[in-house]
Amino acid sequence: MNAHSVSPTVSVPVTASSNGSDPNQEPRRTAPLSVVVGTLSSLQNAIVPAAAAAFGTGLAGPGLLIGLLVGCGIATVGTVFSYIRWRRLTYTIGEQDIRVESGVLSRSARSVPFERIQDVSLEQKLLPRILGLVAVKFETGAGGADDLALSYLAEAEGERLRELVRERREDETKRRDPGPEEAGGGPLADAQETTETLFTMGPYRLFTYGVFEFSLAVFAVLAGLFQYADNFLEVDIWEVDFWRGLAEEQGGWLLELGAYGQVLSAVAGLALVFFIGSATGLVRTFSREWGFLLERTPRGFRRRRGLFTRTDVVMPIHRVQGIAIGTRFIRYRFGWHSLKFVSLAQDAGSSNHVVAPFAQLTELDPIVEAAGFHQPSADAQWHRATTAYRTFSIVSDAIVFAIIACIAGGVAAVFAPEWLPLAVGIPVAIGVVSALASYLSWRFKRHTLDDSQIVATAGVLAPTTKIATRVKLHSVEIAQGPFARRFGYATLHLGMAGGEFSVPGVPIERARQVRAEVLKTIATTDFSQLASQRASDAG
């Protein structure tokens, strides 16, 4: 059966704008191989229950048979439901929207207008990728379950569907916001089909990135498995005598070294931790970022990456609302940073639009400029938070630990006087460190405003920089608490679609000046011309 043929047994109402002569506007099913993916996923999900049934009834013949029956039963049920879901799911591409109908016992239909679709991305997990299938995701900007997805289509059909939806979305945008040439009846000039590579990561860069992605998550998994090791082994690995006896069986040379042997064991243990942590980071990095490629295409930024799960995301340039340049403590000392786009189509807290996960600052400049931003100049006028904000932050951070010290000291004085120095000293020491951290944070928290954008930086050991274009900000809010009103400072909340942008501790006069400048930019901008320009760029 052809993956793209129309089944004569399915009767699904076509959208009101559909034209029967256009095959795109007739109900279609996803690829039949989607059922195979469902079957393989069911087999994968059946492994744990089957193993539990086998171990629970003993590993003898009957236990293995029960485990096998449980696994086969789960896989069979999963296959049946996968087939039914495939038969009952159809999608229709209309003139103005895409419609998806699904459901086994109860039917549901969802229609999303093209004008609401902000991005169309392709994703291939390992099993679908082996079978030549792809999941098509239509991002509406609402995030999460409100987005629309079709799993799975053939690769060629997925690419064709993405291009078709984009063309009709652009046609709808041009119809609502015609540009100067369209209004006069003349066609828009065709966009030059050029592609520019902005950033890539080869194996050596991935290896370096993986070393900095040191992770000890594997130790948590191993520790959980070791808790049940004595159920399968005849020894208790948590007993010191077991390891001492094992060392003696190997000749006892380690014990004969005495203190030197303990130091050698500690060094070997640290080396093992570093090796496993680095290997974990390397595996995660190579599997997620393999083949990383960021391109500037006529339709926007295109990012492809992934070894097992391959993703292909294209984001229009006008959807980029802001950028964030970040780093971490160790990699910052070597000049490595990451670049993330704040986009209308991203979920809160997601990393869907990380466009350069591991790069030097000079490598970020072409990407930042292509997105319509620029990094702060050397002569930028930076403004720091007020000293009153600094004092309030230090006191508020330290007072919590002072209260804890008083309570702990009182309890220790009554019930355990010998613990009084520790009960008081530990919270006080933590409070001092917290106060010092607040002071350093204040020194590195600053912002600047130029003719086109606002920039804010924060962080001592791992600084971050956020940049937003003034014309894309929706609102400017000045927030003041009781203490802030008393000492004349405020927090600036800049309304930005798809993200948050706040600048705390700004002097009230400076906050009002920034608000006036940003609102002036917004008020003097003809957004209808911006819409026409976006349509022209998209065309």
Q: What is the pLDDT of residue 50?
A: 67
Nearest-10 crossing angle of helices 33-56, 61-88: 150
Contact in structure between 507 and 489 (CB atoms under 8 Å): yes
Q: Is 538 helix (H, G, I), strand (E, B) or coil?
A: helix
DSSP annotation of 244: H
Q: How many residues does the chain have?
A: 539
DSSP annotation of 539: -
Report the 10 Å Cβ neighbour count for 236.
10
Contact in structure between 340 and 323 (CB atoms under 8 Å): yes
Q: What is the pLDDT of residue 243?
A: 57
* CA-wise closest residue to 441 among 397, 494, 488: 397
Cα angle: 53, vertex 55, 61; to 5 degrees: 90
Q: Is the peptide bond before 152 cis (omega within 30 degrees of 0)?
A: yes
Q: What is the DSSP secondary-structure string of 403-443?
A: HHHHHHHHHHHHH-GGGHHHHHHHHHHHHHHHHHHHHHHHH
HSE of 480, CA atoms in CB hemisphere, 13 A: 17
Which residue ranges form the domains of the chain, and what is each CATH number? 23-183 (2.30.29), 217-288 (no CATH), 383-535 (2.30.29)
| HEC string for 166-197 | HHHHHHHHHHHCCCHHHHCCCCCCCCCCCCEE
- Tens digit of each residue's pLDDT (9 = 90 or more) over 278-324: 788 888 899 999 999 999 988 789 899 998 888 888 888 888 889 99
Q: What is the pLDDT of residue 53?
A: 66
Residue 449 φ then ψ, to 5° = -130, 130
Sequence-distant (6+) residues with CB within 8 A of 85 are 38, 102, 104
Q: What is the pLDDT of residue 489?
A: 93
For the chain, which ranges sit under pLDDT 70? 1-25, 48, 50-64, 67, 141-147, 170-193, 216-266, 268-269, 344-352, 498, 525-539
Nearest-10 crossing angle of helices 155-176, 527-538: 150
Nearest-10 crossing angle of helices 387-415, 420-443: 170
Q: What is the pLDDT of residue 246?
A: 58
Q: How far is CA 162 from the centre of its chain?
A: 22
CA separation for the pair 82, 185 (Å, rounded): 50
* CA-wise closest residue to 116 among 99, 136, 137, 139: 139
Contact in structure between 382 and 501 (CB atoms under 8 Å): no
CA separation for the pair 76, 38 (Å, rounded): 10
Give the chain's end-to-end CA distance (angstroms, integer): 36
